[in-house]
Structure 1
């Protein structure tokens, strides 16, 4: 029996697009549930494979550890080209695919380290924390708006084939300032992520790992 991968992840987290990709590929994997934002005990679970104590972290059957969500997604797609989850190495779309795969963590994902706990930068000052939340919300929207202006989506961001970039955007766009704002600033990308949401191959997966429910697109909107 094939030895499973081991993925340190958590419900609704940046590990979810990795889980989704592995589900589409059909790879066996075990989840180590580690919501690191809940405190030291959860962070300690991840520390054994990632000194930064961050998820996701993937341990391969060979015992190699891969961290950083974009790196894991690209690695998975490239190692399973038959699934078509990334443009081929010699594809004319490859450079732009890599551009946007790294844009997500560099320009968007990184803001959540500040956004999720503003006290890391401004201490316990409630007024300053609110300003940080508002400023990061606007920056995130600016990034989505710019990405939208640079892409010409088909059914998916790079044509008719779903890639790991579609999975990545579908998950990250569900975080603050929430999908309803994402739809406003990136209407063409909105159609893509809605298609990813509705993919029947992922229906059971979404229900388990990042479930939809009434009003989810606006949840937390007032808080940014």
Structure 2
């Protein structure tokens, strides 16, 4: 029991690729369910380990706290190279791996802080909130389109081997504006995320942590 990771997360959230990675590596972990977008009580669950009161937050068996989904994913895979879920430091794919692992939270994930509560920026003006919602939606779509124009996938985004970048994109592309628009904006990456959706090793996991419910593609 002393070697158990603790992951603060929630179904369908940015903790999902982290949890999938923990499973694929074969690490023992427990989840503290904290859908922080549902209110202060849920955010308070996370406050003790992450003052930003956001998920994911990972507590290592030694008590160290790691936050930010990309940082957690990179750290986990570098710490467990036998899982082959990230390019090694001397791998020619490493630069692009780090580029896109940083791009997703900086350019796409960050939009959801605005979308979840547009009043943070524009107060209670409903017209301004609607404008924020539309502009952030279009921005996310534009970012996927740009990424698609810059990658040349094989079976997976960086070639023939899957990395946590594939997990990250497969999860984030299910959020607004959802998969149908993602497929249209990023046709080169579309088959990759479908392949990740269909991974036999993750079918039970997806059903539990991010189910493919009716209409999930948008």
Q: Shorter-chain TM-score: what band? A: over 0.9
CA distance in 1, matches of 2:188, 2:24: 24
Equivalent runs, 1:86-97 vs 2, <5 Å: 86-97=86-97
Residue of structure 1 equivalent to 2:98: 98
Mean alpha-carbon deviation: is it higher for 54-63 or for 35-44? 35-44
Q: TM-score, normalised by structure 1?
A: 0.96
Query: Aligned pair 1:119/2:110, yes or no?
Result: no
CA distance in 1, matches of 2:127, 2:16: 33
SS at match of 1:17: helix
Unaligned runs of 5+ in 2: none
Equivalent runs, 1:74-85 vs 2, <5 Å: 74-85=74-85
Residue of structure 2 equivalent to 1:221: none
CA offsets per residue over residues 174-214 of structure 1, 9 Å max, x none? 00011100000101101000000000100000000000022
Q: TM-score, normalised by structure 2?
A: 0.98
CA distance in 2, matches of 1:100, 1:55: 20
- State the Cα distance separating 1:58 from its structure 2 match: 0.2
Residue of structure 1 equivalent to 2:63: 63
CA offsets per residue over residues 138-161 of structure 1, 9 Å max, x none? 110110000001000000001111
SS at match of 2:217: helix
Residue of structure 1 equivalent to 2:14: 14
Unaligned runs of 5+ in 1: 219-224
Residue of structure 1 equivalent to 2:163: 163
The structure 1 segments of at least 4 consecutive aligned residues displaced by more than 3 Å after TM superposition are: none
Equivalent runs, 1:119-198 vs 2, <5 Å: 119-198=119-198
CA distance in 2, matches of 1:2, 1:132: 46
SS at match of 1:6: strand
- State the Cα distance separating 1:2 from its structure 2 match: 5.1
CA distance in 1, matches of 2:74, 2:60: 14
CA distance in 2, matches of 1:58, 1:8: 6
SS at match of 1:216: coil
